[in-house]
Structure 1
Amino acid sequence: MILSGMEDEDKWLAEGIAGIQHNAFYMHRALDANNLRDALKCSALMLSELRTSKLSPHKYYDLYMRAFDELRKLEMFFKDESRHGVSIVDLYELVQHAGNILPRLYLLCTVGSVYIKSKEAPAKDALKDLVEMCRGVQNPIRGLFLRSYLAQVSRDKSPSLGSEYEGGEDTVMDTVEFVLQNFTEMNKLWVRMQHQGPVRIREKLEKERNELRDLVGKNLHVLSQIEGVNLELYRDTVLPRVLEQIVNCEDERAQYYLMDCIIQVFPDEYHLQTLETLLGAFPQLQPTVDIKTVLSRLMERLSNYAASSPDVLPEFLQVEAFAKLSSAIGKVIKAQVDMPIVGAVTLYVSLLTFTLHVHPERLDYVDQVLGACVKLLFGKPKLEGGRATKQIVALLSSPLEKYNDIVTALTLSNYPCIMDCLDDKTNKVMAMVIIQSIMKNNTCISTADKVEVLFELLKGLIKDLDGTAVDELDEEDFNEEQNSVARLIHMLYNDDSEEMLKIICTARKHIMAGGPTRLPFTVPPLTFSALRVVRKLQAHDGNVVGEEEEPATPKKIFQLLNEAICYPFYQTIEALSSVPSPELALRLYLQCAESANDCDLEPVAYDFFTKAFILYEEEVADSKAQVTAIHLIIGALQRMNVFGVENRDTLTHKATGVIALAYPVITYSAKLLKKPDQCRAVYTCSHLFWVDEKDGIKDGERALLCLKRALRIANAAQQMANAINGTSGPVTLFVEILNKYLYFFEKGNPQITSAAIQGLVELITDEMKSDSTPDPASDAFFASTIRYIQFQKQKGGVMGEKFGPIKM
């Protein structure tokens, strides 16, 4: 049925065009013959084709343009009085005798334009006469195109400032009055179209009506282009008349389009100086008008105007633009009770963007906008997905993008309240935006109060919200979020150690609420932040003054750590153990012990080692993890110098302490699941009793005991391999032990003799001879060790003499 209608329209359009062409042909013959009467007769017949009501606006426009082109030729004929021999005044009277009103008015407008150009009568009289007579056509489509033709032919003949038609009785005001009257009548015709046609095709008719909107809006563009329409004339005449027509028409489509036209075609300066009048019209519009889009465009234009030059900023303050816009938005939201949340939030986003452009220094304005949005959302369900949440994210992101400083956003009291209005997913997205802003701008959060506010904003990342379990989250997304939080912790810093401790304690309070799954990500950076304070104080030799002018020494800081951090860290690290992350917890204990060692605080270091041992015994069950943990403990314990002191009594005491720590390590080493792991751990323990740079820790006998015990374990491993595989297996363990013997031999351990090395070399040689399946790697390792011994023998000097007794 629709297809049939389109085919009918095409047929009617073709018939109309054919009629225009037919009559235009005879009109041209009459024009060539300078026959005025026949020219008027043929042109009237040609214009009668425009009387059709069968065409849609789009098809009618095609027909109109054919007639328009022919009328331009007729106008040229009318201008040349020598051709038709009739004065323009008589011609103006003559065309009014046309039979049908539509052709008559088209001809009248054509002659009228020539009449005005001749200046034989005041332009204002002719324009007033024409615009009044056009009321004779009340069909919306025919009337709109007729008045559009009138506006077109009179545009360059209207009195305006500096034009040839200004002067005498003709003024700019006459042109303004003409355009305003034509605009009013055209808008009435356009609005009337909404009531035509059956309901079943109302959507199609509305689409067709929308196609004609530019005919109406063009009048506003003409008004904006008239020379002489200054701010005063615009404020006192143009804007009130246009707004009156827009409000009174009570048509949703017309009100939206024309308000948008006003904003787009008139200068920004005019909008600023008439802001109160313009904004006063918005609450009077129909409730269904998309005011948010129009208002947003207005604020965008004003923002760009403010950015164009610093010289215009005082004008914004003078007219109190922010207060007026804020008040208008409130009134619009109140008037449009059915406005969706997304619409209202969009308005506040635009207002905030305007504020940040025009008044960036007024944080109270920014907070006021956020506060208004909070009131809007108060008591409503949390926003979940969709455009509304995107607008909230845009609202919260604007201050971050403008100031490039989260610290500024933290001073906005309503910022966290807006975050609370988001659903959990969007809350996390916004939290990630905040962290990314901090990292991008390298922003340092330097007080505990700011950290408190910041972590309140980030609570969607650092703890579960509304009972959302961690196992329900995507693992990759979760890891990315927690890594971001970990990076953020390194941005919490203050040069004042006392304040830094407060920062760490505040951060720890929030982090501990995150549950054991988050702790492996967040506890390590927090631990290292605390230890950074200790290192800084150690570098200053304790000569750092806090806020209360009391010296903050490493000892004092560790005391505070014990009270404020260490004890909670014990709990934290124990929580890590149950994640399970016991290996990570053990590493943190050892790191803390080393920092205590650097500060010469034996009890603290000893305490951390004790907890590391307990953690190893109770939580580290995996054999590979045990091997790694043992070597970590040995390495950390070897680096301890806090147990060595100057006087003998203390030396003895400290040595006892070292031995007390070392023996459990040896015991742990001997209990590893695999013999090779046992062997390597035990011979590594030998370094605990002989440390080169520490004179107080050179117990050669106990170092030798470790090596002998490692040999027994290696021998047991060989026997076990022989029993299982029928071969003794590689001699790698023996070669590794040989290298340890060589190390201590070079370092001067009196318990390690050349004879012992000689015996071990022979043992390895015998084992290799008895092995039916030699291992190339072990053979190469042993050969390299032999070459090293030979090199030392040939070296000469003290070392050559020392290695001399060893026979290869």
Structure 2
Amino acid sequence: MYKDTVLPRVLEQVVNCKDEIAQYYLMDCIIQVFPDEYHLQTLDVLLGAFPQLQPTVDIKTVLSRLMERLSNYAASSADVLPEFLQVEAFAKLNNAIGKVIEAQPDMPILGVIILYSSLLTFTLHVHPDRLDYADQVLGACVKKLSGKGKLEGNKTTKQIVALLSAPLDKYDIVTALKLSNYPRVLEYLDTETNKVMATVIIQSIMKNKTRISTADRVEALFELIKGLIKDLDGAVLDEVDEDDFKEEQNSVARLIQLLHNDDPEEMFKIICTVRKHILGGGPKRLPFTVPSLVFSSLKLVRQLQGQEENPFGEEESTTPKKIFQLLNQTVETLSNIPAPELALQLYLQCAEAANDCDLEPVAYEFFTQAYILYEEEISDSRAQVTAIHLIIGTLQRMHVFGVENRDTLTHKATGYSAKLLKKPDQCRAVYACSHLFWVDDQDNVKDGERVLLCLKRALRIANAAQQTSNAARGNTGSVTLFVEILNKYLYFFEKGNPHINVAAIQSLVELVTTEMHSETSALDPAANAFFASTLRYIEFQKQKGGAVGEKYEPIKA
């Protein structure tokens, strides 16, 4: 009765009344009042009336509401989906939208996008397995957008973002990348909205923990998010909010860490693809993205650890050496920006990885690059202190170097330490160098005499610092240096360094005690507590008894 009598008569009245307000209201009433299944079974008749309405009627809103109702109906139960297929709902709605847009040539582009956005939502609910339908909707959208240039206007761009976000809510990005028209719609977004959409895509990947595991997919993905990776249309970075920019670049860095393939060959291709995209990002972006790429590459190096070359002799195979070559060139881009401190840290990380792969020439090359940066680019005194301690710490962990290479690098590190601007910094760096001559797990690196030379040199620098502070009156840091050096003496004494004897420790204890009670030395509670704690440690070692107790017994604390 509804199909044959009620609906045709009501629609006849609506079309014939010729009043745009009445037509809009009555069509909305029909959609809202009658049941979903009625609409589904009478789609032909209902949709046939739309092009006959007045050109000024807001058809897009009414039609969108119809598709929204049908989408919700489809989502309510899987049992109703066969009905949608039976009546070919998608084809009818797609056809109707085409006719409505044709009948209203003055419809603004916003209206067109709203209609296709509603159709896409309907398609994703009713035909989630038909990617071709979703792509067809996006293709129709591209057709209408062609020749329009970059879209402007808040409402229009928001609607495009909603259109492009819909597939990401239903599928993961790997599936969405199969939609050939998806990137084509993105092309019409202005720079700012392009960045918003890129952020939405990355958030979708993070949320779903999507695994993107081929270089081709990475290429397609980075094309989609290029708004975050490089400047589009000559956009000026200076106008961007600093915090927003950092958050955007950090999200790109996190994304790089998610790209993975267990096959080394494919993973290397992924790394090369990422590198190609991010190296064009400009000096402000590289400090965020390059470290992430470097650590992703080092993960692959660890995976291949110990593999020098392919057993079958294929030149194209991925080896640690090949990755290190790429890493050297990649980190070099940071020193050109310049970001020398970050580049130095990454060179040292690469050196440590080369050490674990037993590649001495490669590790030496990375250290050389780090030293060049230190000498030529790092001039700030605080940055120099941080850098020299990183160099010493990394060099101490290296086991791959032969005597000659190790001596060269160690000699340079101790030289840098003694040339730091402030005496306390010099002292701490020089006594840290003592560890370069005595490494527990390397029997060939146990030179007790050079350890003692380092500690004596540190003591001389501490004395000079003490005299300076006495002259300045009130600078209390130098007594602390003596206590720190005493602790180093105790460390090597316990490790069995024959050149560190009881007499040396005893004289140092007495020196600190004298300095503590000196009239020229200002009261320093922290130094007092540190020294008291050191003396308690000596007493504790004595009470242990046995071989350790015997060693400590002669020391009078």
Fold shared by both chains (TM-score > 0.5): yes
Q: Does 1:494 align with 2:231?
A: no
In structure 1, distance between residues paired with 2:100 and 2:346: 58
| Pair 1:791–1:264, CA change in 2 (3 A) | closer
Describe the superposition over 1:342-397 as per-residue Cα deviations: whole angstroms up to 9, x where unpaired.
Answer: 11100001100110011000001101111111111111132223211111111011
Contact 1:384/1:426 (CA < 8 Å) preserved in 2?
no
Q: Does 1:602 align with 2:360?
A: yes
Describe the superposition over 1:288-312 as per-residue Cα deviations: whole angstroms up to 9, x where unpaired.
Answer: 1111011112212222332333333
Which one of 262, 268, 271 corresponds to residue 30 of structure 2?
A: 262
| Pair 1:543–1:347, CA change in 2 (3 A) | farther
Q: Does 1:800 align with 2:553?
A: no
In structure 2, distance between residues paired with 1:267 and 1:763: 96
Shift of 1:287: 1.3
* Aligned twin of 1:574: 335
Which one of 304, 315, 319 corresponds to residue 537 of structure 1?
A: 304
**Gapped runs of 5+ residues in structure 1?**
1-228, 644-653
Q: Does 1:525 align with 2:292?
A: yes
Q: Which amino acid aligns with 2:25?
A: Y
* Aligned twin of 2:185: 418
* Aligned twin of 1:303: 71
The correspondence of residues 368-767 of structure 1 with structure 2, limited to 5 A, is 368-403=136-171, 405-538=172-305, 542=307, 556-563=318-325, 565-575=326-336, 578=338, 581-643=339-401, 654-725=402-473, 730-767=478-515
Contact 1:448/1:499 (CA < 8 Å) preserved in 2?
yes
* Aligned twin of 1:6: none
Shift of 1:329: 0.9
| Pair 1:312–1:662, CA change in 2 (3 A) | same
Shift of 1:803: 2.8
Give 3-state SS (helix, strand or coil) of 1:495's partner.
coil
Shift of 1:794: 4.1
Which one of 241, 248, 251 corresponds to residue 9 of structure 2?
A: 241
| Pair 1:275–1:708, CA change in 2 (3 A) | same
Which one of 334, 348, 353 corresponds to residue 102 of structure 2?
A: 334
In structure 2, distance between residues paired with 1:438 and 1:697: 48
Q: Which amino acid aligns with 1:489?
A: I
In structure 1, distance between residues paired with 2:81 and 2:541: 84
Q: Which amino acid aligns with 1:557?
A: T
Contact 1:544/1:552 (CA < 8 Å) preserved in 2?
no
Shift of 1:473: 0.5
Shift of 1:489: 1.5
The correspondence of residues 28-47 of structure 1 with structure 2, limited to 5 A, is none
Shift of 1:777: 2.4
Shift of 1:535: 1.9
In structure 2, distance between residues paired with 1:590 and 1:668: 16
* Aligned twin of 2:87: 319
Q: Which amino acid aligns with 1:508?
A: R
| Pair 1:296–1:759, CA change in 2 (3 A) | same
Give 3-state SS (helix, strand or coil) of 1:611's partner.
helix
Describe the superposition over 1:594-647 as per-residue Cα deviations: whole angstroms up to 9, x where unpaired.
Answer: 11111111122111111111111122222111111111111111111122xxxx
Contact 1:283/1:332 (CA < 8 Å) preserved in 2?
yes
* Aligned twin of 2:123: 355
| Pair 1:794–1:419, CA change in 2 (3 A) | same
Shift of 1:472: 0.8
Shift of 1:744: 0.9
Contact 1:382/1:422 (CA < 8 Å) preserved in 2?
yes
Shift of 1:730: 4.2
Considering Cα pairs closer than 8 Å and 6+ residues apart, tell me whether 1 or 2 has the greater RCO.
2
What TM-score, normalized to structure 1?
0.66
Contact 2:93/2:119 (CA < 8 Å) preserved in 1?
yes
In structure 1, distance between residues paired with 2:71 and 2:461: 81
Shift of 1:549: 12
Q: Could you say what the CA RMSD is over the residues aligned between the two structures, in angstroms?
A: 2.4
Shift of 1:477: 1.1
Q: Which amino acid aligns with 2:118?
A: S
Shift of 1:560: 2.4
Contact 1:542/1:551 (CA < 8 Å) preserved in 2?
no
Give 3-state SS (helix, strand or coil) of 2:258's partner.
coil
In structure 2, distance between residues paired with 1:426 and 1:458: 11
In structure 2, distance between residues paired with 1:729 and 1:491: 47
| Pair 1:542–1:793, CA change in 2 (3 A) | same
Shift of 1:590: 1.2
Shift of 1:542: 4.7
In structure 2, distance between residues paired with 1:544 and 1:335: 68
Give 3-state SS (helix, strand or coil) of 1:471's partner.
helix
Give 3-state SS (helix, strand or coil) of 1:672's partner.
coil
| Pair 1:727–1:299, CA change in 2 (3 A) | closer
In structure 2, distance between residues paired with 1:724 and 1:309: 84
Q: Which amino acid aligns with 1:428?
A: K
Identity over aligned pairs, percent: 73
Contact 1:497/1:552 (CA < 8 Å) preserved in 2?
no
Contact 2:469/2:475 (CA < 8 Å) preserved in 1?
yes
In structure 2, distance between residues paired with 1:529 and 1:729: 42
Q: Does 1:786 align with 2:545?
A: no
In structure 1, distance between residues paired with 2:489 and 2:227: 57
Contact 2:307/2:319 (CA < 8 Å) preserved in 1?
no
Contact 1:273/1:319 (CA < 8 Å) preserved in 2?
yes
In structure 2, distance between residues paired with 1:236 and 1:292: 26
In structure 2, distance between residues paired with 1:676 and 1:461: 44
Q: Which amino acid aligns with 1:795?
A: K
Instruction: Between 312-321 and 662-671, report the one with greater CA deviation.
Output: 312-321
Describe the superposition over 1:428-487 as per-residue Cα deviations: whole angstroms up to 9, x where unpaired.
Answer: 111111111111111121111111111111111111122122211011111111121122
In structure 2, distance between residues paired with 1:755 and 1:704: 13
In structure 2, distance between residues paired with 1:724 and 1:732: 16
In structure 2, distance between residues paired with 1:771 and 1:593: 49
Q: How many residues align?
A: 556
| Larger Rg over CA atoms | 1
In structure 2, distance between residues paired with 1:303 and 1:656: 75
